[in-house]
Structures are given as C-alpha cells and as structure tokens.
Amino acid sequence: MKKINKKKILFYFLFFVFNITCSIVAVILYIKYYPIESKVITETVNKTVVSEQGIEDAINNVYDSVVTVNSYYNNELTGTGSGFIYKNDDKGYILTNNHVIENCNKFEVELSNGEVVEAKLLGSDEYSDLAVLSIDKNKVPKVATLGDSNLISVGNTVFTVGSPLGNDYSGSVTRGIISGKDRMVETNDVVTKVIQTDASINPGNSGGPLVNLAGEVIGITSMKLADESVEGMGFAIPINDAKEYANSLEKGEKISRPLLGVSLINVSDRYRLYYYNIYIDQNVTEGAVVAKVVGGSGAEKAGLQVGDVIVKINNQEIKNISRLRYYLYQYNIGDKVNVTYIRNGEEKNAEVTLIGE
C-alpha cells in the first residue's frame, strides 16, 4: 500500500484555500468599484446624448432661415448659391456672397418649405465678397440669430447649412470643427481674413451660414481650397466682419475704402515693370511698386514717386499689392499712415493722408 504524503496534502489544501480567498477578495473589490464604473459609463452616454441633442437643437434654430439663391442673367439661370435671412423689418434681409449674384440682374430664393419667391439685390461689395438681398417680409419663415465670431475657439463643433450642387440638395447639413481662425487667404489680388473649418463645403454652399452649437451664425461659408491633395479645408467670412458691411449694403451704399493715391505693380511682376520702363534693384524681392501717382493725392503731397517700392504700412510688412490693400483698408479716409518705401536702394519714410475712392 502506497504511503500518504501528508506534507503534499497540506500544501494542496493551503494552495486551494489561498485561491478561494483571492477570488473572494477580487469579487468584493469588483462589487465595490463596479458602481463607479457604471456611473462613469452612464455619465459618458448621457453627455453624448445631450451633445447630439444640442446639435439637433442648433440646426433647428437656423434651418428655416437658410435659402437657396438662384441668380439669372436675362432670365437665364447662371448659378446657384446659399444665403440666410438675418433680419425681418420692413422686408426680409438675406446675406450671401457677392460671387453668388455677381453680373446677374434677376434673383429668386427658394425657402426651406420649397416655395420660390422673387428677391431684390440691395447692395454688394466685391472686395468683402458680400451681398444683401431682400424678400417680402410676409414670406420670411425664420430669422437666424447672429453670434460673435470673436468668441470662437479652435476645436469648436460647427456645421453648415446650404445647397451644394444646387436646388436638388438644398438644406444639406454638414458637420465639422473650427480648424483655424484669423487665417489670411489670398485670391485674385485680395487678402481675406477667414475662419477655417473641415466641415464639407461644396459649390452651392457659398453664402450659407457657419453655425455654432448655440445655433448662432458665426460665419458665412465662402470658399474651399481646391486641390486634389487637400481635403477638409473650407473657409468662412467671420460674421463680425459681415456685420460691419451689412448696414451699408442694405441701403445700397457703396463701401468707400481709403487709398494712397497711386497705381501699383507687384515687385514679382517683372514683365509689367519692364513694360512701364520701371527698373528696380534685383535684391528687392517683395513689395508694391508705384507705377503712377495721382495728382493732388496724399501720396503726391508726401513726395512718393514712380518706381518707389512700398515695403511697409505703419510697420506692417507689405509683400505685394494684396497685403497692402488689406492693411490699408483697416484705416479710414482722412487717416494718416506711415509709408516705408525703397528708392534707389535707400529706405525712406513718408506720412500719407488717405483719400477716398
């Protein structure tokens, strides 16, 4: 008969008891901390639900104020875009982009309920790319709430409402975030300060609202960076900038901007400089070259001459004509600005009084 090993039995017994004890402790700890985990999960789910509900509420807050803008030339449809009703007073006022209505003489807007109504162009401005249309006040379904674009932060959730590719897709909503603010984008000799977003923007969205989670319009969708290698780079005009122009455009007033009183050529445009018999130092690679000085202007009185290369306005560096205009338009007619320019290789300064157009 085999002899029983009491030490081995005792070892297995103690090992068994140890495992049972560890299991009980593990269960107790799990039961103790599981409610906290459940609470965290529940709170996360609730926050997600609230967030999604907030987006729905924000969309509902602005949706019916958005319109599709149909632009015609001699009764022929030439293009479509978007816009939104921002005021309802003696008439309904609609903000959109200038390039949506440019070179057209008849306008219609399609409301969120599908009704098409005639619209009148009150005013437009090419430089800011803004335009104001009006419709019968009794046709206005809803007025958008305008927010404060100075309060936005990178990473904020935003969405757009508009008509990508025309009427067939009117009322389309896209969602994204603010990818950047105070971006300086240059197109067609114009520098514009814009909000960058990755919310999808397509042809037909132009003029529609960029909206925050409070349902407030913080920008006007204006352009998309068109490049096969780039995705998710759309831009919007800050609503605070648009507000500055809206009152004048409503009245049909032309936006008057200050001028130095000169005609200019970019330093990089060597062909035009040669055409006008203007020769500058090859070491000067940036700036705006004076090609003509208007008689009686602030520039003439300050002594600027043909061939001078303007390189700074009040210490803001001027790389080209677009940048010069951007910084110059921060001032008013009658203001004095310090102009830094290069003449015959020497840097000089002059105080110029700005004139009107």
Catalytic residue numbers?
Answer: 99, 129, 206
Give the list of residues 6+ apart from residue 95 with CB closer than 8 angstroms, or none: 83, 84, 86, 130, 131, 132, 207, 220, 242, 246
Region of 71 please: left (phi>0), alpha (psi -120 to 50) or beta. Answer: beta
Helix (H, G, I), strand (E, B), or coil: what is residue 62? helix
Dist CA 345 CA 347 (whole Å): 7
Backbone angles phi, psi at 356, to 5 degrees: -90, 165
The CA dihedral of 68, 72, 78, 79, to the nearest 10 degrees, is -10
User: In this structure, what DSSP letter does residue 164 have?
Assistant: T
Asked if residue 28 lies in contact with residue 46, where contact means CB atoms within 8 angstroms, the answer is no
> Which two three-digit tokens encode residue 298?
């602030």
> Which two three-digit tokens encode residue 67?
């319109």
Helix (H, G, I), strand (E, B), or coil: what is residue 331? coil
Asked if residue 204 lies in contact with residue 240, where contact means CB atoms within 8 angstroms, the answer is no
Helix (H, G, I), strand (E, B), or coil: what is residue 293? strand
> Which two three-digit tokens encode residue 41?
């999960």
DSSP string across 5-27: -HHHHHHHHHHHHHHHHHHHHHH
Residue 156, Cβ density class (10 Å: 0-12 exposed, 13-18 middle, ≥19 buried): middle
Which H or E element spans position 327? helix 321-328
Asked if residue 328 lies in contact with residue 354, where contact means CB atoms within 8 angstroms, the answer is yes
